[in-house]
Amino acid sequence: MNVLVINAGSSSLKYQLLDVDTREVYAKGNCERIGIEGSFVGHEELGGEKQKLEVALPDHKTAIKHVFDILKTIDKPIDGIGHRVVQGGWYFPESAVVDDKVLAQVREVAPLAPLHNYAEADVIEICRELFPEVGNVIVCDTSFHFNMPEKAHRYALPRDVVDKYHVRKYGAHGTSHRYIWRATNEFTNGQTHKLVSCHLGSGASLSAIEDGRDLETTMGLTPLDGLIMGTRCGTIDPATVFYLSRVGGYSIDEIDTMMNKQSGLLALSGHSDSRDIEDGAHAGDKDCQLALEMFYYRTSQLIMEMAQAMHGFDTMAFSAGIGENSDEMRLGVVKELEWMGVKIDEEKNKVRSGEIRDISAPDSKVRVLIVPTNEEYMIALDVQELLGK
């Protein structure tokens, strides 16, 4: 089955056309700067070179039409379309085939993720109009976390407020964490039971997964909570918002922008890219060194919170941009955990590969893996399962 996977953001649209059965990727690309001057489409086909097409993309409807026009040239039928939806809210504990009701619900919960859900809903609507004969499926980042125990997802706020405004821990990166669990379980021949999944990239989160069930995660009502990230502050005292408003004179929107786009590793070091921070630290930049120390410290702290949710862990898996590619940051995190027996083989840790691999030291009490994530494949599997029914 050939599935087109679409991931729409506020000013971008990523796509990938793949065969679910063979996992062959026929084409992939991204539409960037939608609604902004200088927009373009980056496109790559199996065995071909990357292309950059500078085209006007005033809106997502124009962008998706360009994508469909490009895909027509490779002569592969589209049997189903899968949409990554950031926020499923209180409606979607699992993926769902799109109908009018589902689309309306994606829009209804959009205030929880306004930069993404509205754009994705528009794209879904366009796909249904252009190709009414092709089924669409939504795969929500929050679904994997939906059934966490109430003690994990509930906030200690008044019940009437919680119920009226649907305030709870929703988490994010659920599709990635679900794939990491699946790949880890297969790689270890079913010997993984308590996994701490570490999705470490510009956006970062951890998940505690026991025998396939998510028990805890680090992101909260929004993706701002938890780890220190590229430009997000992660967990801080909530009263910081009140203080900055009352004493600093910042508006709520200004604080929102500050904490989401001007904080995290960027605020600590002047860089949001981990590679630049590592280079700065090697050159003696004290701010970069502190940023790394804080990242290791906070990540290891929250790994232990995930372990507590499962009363221990037998495996941890590094994934996403930092987790897969930075041997230095993996080592830094694990060094913080050596006190409780987590160790890696430093030579294995330095090996670059696109394959899942074990980097544990022989005497490590916990298996440590690198698991390249594949959210597109996970989404495509859901499309195949649901449309097959």
Stretch (H or E) spanning 89: none
Instruction: Work out the burial of residue 284: count CB atoms within 10 Å of its CB; fewer than 13 is exposed, 13-18 middle, 19 or more buried.
Output: exposed
The type of residue at 143 is S
Which of 100, 122, 141, 256 is the catalytic position?
A: 141
Stretch (H or E) spanning 206: strand 204-210
Question: Distance (Å, rounded) from C-alpha 376 to C-alpha 28?
Answer: 10
Cα-only R_g, the chain: 21
Question: Which strand ranges, in their side-by-side order, compose the sheet holding 2-8?
Answer: 51-53, 40-45, 25-32, 12-19, 2-8, 80-85, 135-140, 96-97
Q: In the annotation, is 141 catalytic?
A: yes
Helix 60-72, helix 114-130: angle, nearest 10: 50
* Terminal C-alpha separation, the chain: 13
Question: Annotated binding site: which residue ranges?
Answer: 7, 14, 84, 199-203, 273-275, 321-325, 375
Question: Distance (Å, rounded) from C-alpha 23 to C-alpha 107?
Answer: 31
Catalytic residues, by residue number, are 141
